[in-house]
Structure 1
Amino acid sequence: MDDISTGVLFSLLILLLVISGYFSGSETGMMSLNRYKLRHLANQGHRGAKRVEKLLSRPDRLIGLILIGNNLVNILASAIATIIGMRLYGDFGVAIATGALTLVVLVFAEVTPKTLAAIYPERVSYASSIILNILMKLLYPLVWFVNGITNSFMLLMGLKVDNMNDSKLSSEELRTVVDEAGGLIPRRHQDMLLSILDLENVTVEDLMIPRSDIAAININDDWKSITRQLIHSSHGRIVLYRDTIDEVVGMLRVREAYRLMMEKNEFSKANLLRAADEVYFIPEGTPLNIQLLKFQRNKERIGLIVDEYGDIQGLITLEDILEEIVGEFTTSISPTLADEITPQADGSLLIEGSANIRDLNKSLNWDLPTDGPRTLNGLILEHLEDIPDSQISIKLSGRQMKIMEVSENMIKLVKVLPTQLKKTG
C-alpha cells in the first residue's frame, strides 16, 4: 500500500463506496418488491422479472451473496480509509478516518441507496439482477459454504430454510390486499371479492328465511284453501307438509301445479304430491361457502335448514347466497333492507324488528353485535331479557333506540334517533 499514491487510494475508496451502495440498494429493492406483481410479470415473459424471481426463489442465497459482497467492500474501504487517515494526520488520523467513513457510508452507501430502492424497487431490482446473477455464478462456492454454516445454525434453532419463501396469503391478508387495491379494482368488484371471503364466516342461518315466514301449504287442508294458496302464491316453489311444517312431504314447483290445473281430472292432492320434488335438507351451522359448493354438486337450488333434532329452522336458496356476493337482485320478491328502513324528516330511522343485523351493519356502517340473535327484534329482546311495552327507549351498542310497536310477543318497529346515526359508507 505504501507504493500506491494517496490519490489512487481516494479513487479506490470512492469506487468501494459506490459498490457498497449498489449492494445495499439491491438488497432493499429485492426485498421491497411486490411478489405477486413480480410473478405476474414473470408469467408474461418479462426478462427482468424472471431473473429476479429466480434469485428470490432462494432468498437465503441471495442475502448471503449481497452480504458477502457488501461486507468485503466495507472492510476493504475501512482499511483504505485508515491508511489515508494515517498518511494525512498520523496516529490521530485513525479516529478521523473512522468517524468520517462511518458518516459517508451511512449517507451515501446505506440510507440514500436504500431509500431510492424502496421508492423504485422494480427499476433497481431488474437492473441489479443482471450483475447479481453473474456474481452468484462466480461466488457460488463461497455463498454455498456460508449458507451451509448459517442453515445448520438455523436448524439447531428449529428453523427450516424451506419455510422462508412461503408466499401464501391468508384470507385476512387477502382482504387487506383487496382493500388497498384502490382504483386498480372498481369499488363494486372489491365489495364482491370481500363478500366471497366472508362466506366462510357466515352460516346458512344468517341468510335463511325463518320458519314462520316459509311459504308452505298444509296438504291436509281443504281443497279450496290449497287452490287459493296456489293461485295467490308469489313464490316459485312451495313447501308441502302434513299438519306441522316439521312433517315436510315435498317441495312443489308452482308452475307444475298450474300445469295440473290446466289438465282435466289431474288437479288433485295425490297428483300434487307426485309432482313435488324431494326435499333437500341442510344442517344448521353450515358455512355459506360450503353450502354454495353443495348446491352446485347436488344440482339443487333450495333447501330446508334443520337443527340437531330434525326440526325445520328455515329455508335458504341459491339466490340468497349469490345475493350475498353480488348484492340484491331487482327481481327478488322477498323484502329488501330498503323496504324495512324508513328515513324520517328529523333524520331518525324507522326500522322493522325483523331487519337482519348483518344487513344493517353492512348497509349503514354500524357495528351491532352479530354473535347472537340475527334480527333487531332478537337483539333488543336479548338485551332487555324481557318482552317490553312500546314507547320504551334503550341504548344499545352506543345507539339510542325507541321501541315504537310491539305485538305478538315481537318488536315490530324500532326508531333509531338521529344523534346516534353514523354516516353511511
Structure 2
Amino acid sequence: MSEAPLSILIGALVFLLLLSAFFSSSETGMMAINRYRLRHLARKGNRAAKRTSSLLDRPDRLIGVILIGNNFVNILASALATIIAVRLWGDSGIAIATLGLTFVVLIFGEVTPKTIAAMYPEKVAFPASMVLVPLLKILYPVVLLVNWICSLLMRPFGIRPGQEGEDQLSSEELRTLVNESGLRLPKKRRGMLLGILDLEKVHVDDIMVPRNEVYGIDIEDDIKEIVHQLRDCQHTRMPVYRGDINNIVGMLHMRKIARLLTLEEVNKATLLQETAEPYYIPESTPLHTQLFNFQKSKERTALVVDEYGDIMGLVTLEDILEEIVGDFTTDVSDSSQDITPQGDGSYIIDGSASIRDVNKALGWDLPTDDARTINGLITEEMEVIPEASVCWKIKNCRFEILQVKDNRIKSVRMFMAGTL
C-alpha cells in the first residue's frame, strides 16, 4: 500500500469518506423515517418502502450492518490518511493525519450527511436500502455474531433485541398527530377526528337534555291539550308518562300517529297502543359505548337514569353524532340563544346552558368535572344560591349574576379577565 502512487491513495481516501457519509446518512435516514407513512407506502406496493420496512423489522441487524460498514471504512480511512501524511510530512504527519482526518470525518462523514438524512429521511433511506439489503446478506454471519454478543451484554438489563418496540399510538398521541396535521387535513375533518377521540371522555349525562327540558306527553292531561301538543311537536320521538316523568308509559313515534292526527281519530287508548317500550341507559355510559349500543339495539332515543332509577334526562343518536360532526340541524323549538354576545366583549349566558357548549362556542376552559350547567357551576363554586348582582370569579373567568328565579340562576354576564 505504501508503494502505491500518492494520487491513488488520496482517491481511495476520498472514496472511503464517501462510504462513511453513506453509512452515516443511512443510519439517520432509516431511524428518522416516518414509520406510519412507510407502512402506508408499503401497503400500496412501493418497492423501496417494502425494502426499507423489511430492514426496520429487525433494527438490531440493520444497525449492525451499518456500523460494521461505517467502522470498517473509518478505520481504513484512518490508516490511509496516516500513510499519506507520513509520506508527505514524515513522522510529524501522524499527528496531522489524526487531527485532519478527525475534522474531515466529523464534517463530511458525520454531521453533514446525518443532517441531510434527518431533513429528508425518505430520499436517503429508500436508495440506501438497495445497498443495505444485499450487504446484509453478504455480512449476515458477522452481523449475527455481533448481535449475539450484544444481546448477551444487554440481557442483564432485560432488553431483547428481537422484541418489537412500543410502536402503537395512544389516543393522546393520535390527538397530537391530528392537531399537527396542518393543511394536510381540512379543518372540518380534523374536528371530526378529534370529536371521535373525545367520545370516550364524554358521558351521556354531559350531552343529555335534562329532565326539566324533556318534551313529553302527560297521558293524564285533557285529550284536546294532548292533540294540540302533538300538532305543535317538532320532535320525531317523545316520551309518554303518567303524571310525572318518572312514570314513563312508553315512547311515541310521531310517524305512527301522524295519520290519525289527520283523520282526527286520536284518543288516549290509541296513543297508549302506539307507544313502544322505552329504552333506558345509565348516566355514566361513555358516548363511544352508547353509540355502539344504539347501533346494536336499533334504537335512536334513550332515557337516562341515575343509580336510583330516576329519570335524569334524554339523549338521542343525533346528540352523539353532533359531538363528532358538529351541529347539523337547528332546533326550531329553541327560540332564544343561550349565549348572547355584548358590545363590550362580555356574554349574557343562560343559567341552564351546558358548560361544554359554552367552552366549545367561546373557546373557554371552564371546569366540567362535577357541574354540567352554568347554574350548577356557580352554585357549586359559591356553595350557596346567590342573589342577583353578585360578582364572582372562577379561574380567570369573571361573572355577574343578573337574574335568580326559583332557586336557580336564570342568566349571568360572563367574560374572561383581560378581555374588557
What TM-score results when the alignment is normalised by the length of structure 1? Answer: 0.93
| Aligned twin of 1:320 | 319
Q: Deviations over 1:170-189 (max 9, x none)?
A: 11111112111111111111
Determine if contact 2:227/2:266 at 8 Å carries over to the other structure: no
**Whole-angstrom CA distance in 1 between matches of 2:143 and 2:401:** 73
| Aligned twin of 2:337 | 339
Q: Is 1:270 equivalent to 2:306 in the alignment?
A: no
**Whole-angstrom CA distance in 1 between matches of 2:131 and 2:217:** 78
**Whole-angstrom CA distance in 2 between matches of 1:334 and 1:328:** 15
Determine if contact 2:396/2:417 at 8 Å carries over to the other structure: no
Determine if contact 2:341/2:347 at 8 Å carries over to the other structure: yes
Determine if contact 1:117/1:124 at 8 Å carries over to the other structure: yes
Shift of 1:138: 0.8
Distance of aligned partners of 1:417 and 1:51 in 2 relative to their CA distance in 1, 3 Å threshold:
closer
2:406 to 383, 408, 416: 408
Distance of aligned partners of 1:160 and 1:210 in 2 relative to their CA distance in 1, 3 Å threshold:
farther
SS of residue matched to 1:339: coil
Shift of 1:361: 1.5
The percentage of counterpart residues that share the same residue type is 53
Q: Deviations over 1:151-190 (max 9, x none)?
A: 3433332223354444321111111121111111111111
Shift of 1:89: 3.7
Determine if contact 1:13/1:81 at 8 Å carries over to the other structure: yes
SS of residue matched to 1:378: helix
**Whole-angstrom CA distance in 2 between matches of 1:398 and 1:218:** 44
SS of residue matched to 1:367: coil
| Structure 1: runs of 5 or more not aligned | none
Shift of 1:12: 2.1
**Whole-angstrom CA distance in 1 between matches of 2:117 and 2:316:** 52
Q: Deviations over 1:385-407 (max 9, x none)?
A: 11111111112221221111111
What does 1:68-79 correspond to in 2, within 5 Å? 68-79=68-79
**Whole-angstrom CA distance in 2 between matches of 1:417 and 1:119:** 45
**Whole-angstrom CA distance in 2 between matches of 1:215 and 1:159:** 62
| Aligned twin of 2:108 | 108
**Whole-angstrom CA distance in 2 between matches of 1:104 and 1:283:** 70
Determine if contact 1:400/1:420 at 8 Å carries over to the other structure: no
**Whole-angstrom CA distance in 2 between matches of 1:160 and 1:248:** 61
**Whole-angstrom CA distance in 1 between matches of 2:333 and 2:234:** 10
**Whole-angstrom CA distance in 2 between matches of 1:124 and 1:99:** 29
| Aligned twin of 2:292 | 293
| Aligned twin of 2:308 | 309
Shift of 1:66: 0.6
Shift of 1:282: 0.8
Shift of 1:304: 0.7
Shift of 1:204: 0.6
Q: Which moved more, 1:79-88 or 1:342-351?
A: 79-88
Determine if contact 1:343/1:350 at 8 Å carries over to the other structure: yes
SS of residue matched to 2:307: coil
What does 1:130-169 correspond to in 2, within 5 Å? 130-169=130-169
| Aligned twin of 1:203 | 203
Q: Deviations over 1:88-115 (max 9, x none)?
A: 4444333222221111111000011111
Q: Which moved more, 1:74-83 or 1:28-37?
A: 74-83
Q: Give the RMSD, CA atoms, in angstroms.
A: 2.1
Shift of 1:128: 1.1
| Aligned twin of 1:385 | 383
Shift of 1:2: 3.3
| Structure 2: runs of 5 or more not aligned | none
**Whole-angstrom CA distance in 1 between matches of 2:398 and 2:166:** 48
Distance of aligned partners of 1:332 and 1:143 in 2 relative to their CA distance in 1, 3 Å threshold:
farther
2:396 to 395, 398, 403: 398
SS of residue matched to 2:199: helix
Shift of 1:3: 2.8
**Whole-angstrom CA distance in 1 between matches of 2:378 and 2:249:** 36
**Whole-angstrom CA distance in 1 between matches of 2:334 and 2:101:** 74
Q: Deviations over 1:188-240 (max 9, x none)?
A: 11111111111111111110001111112222334344333323322222211
Q: Is 1:284 equivalent to 2:283 in the alignment?
A: yes
Determine if contact 2:396/2:416 at 8 Å carries over to the other structure: no
Q: Deviations over 1:105-134 (max 9, x none)?
A: 110000111111122222111111111112
SS of residue matched to 2:392: strand
**Whole-angstrom CA distance in 1 between matches of 2:164 and 2:78:** 33
**Whole-angstrom CA distance in 2 between matches of 1:204 and 1:153:** 53
Determine if contact 2:25/2:113 at 8 Å carries over to the other structure: yes
Determine if contact 1:349/1:418 at 8 Å carries over to the other structure: no
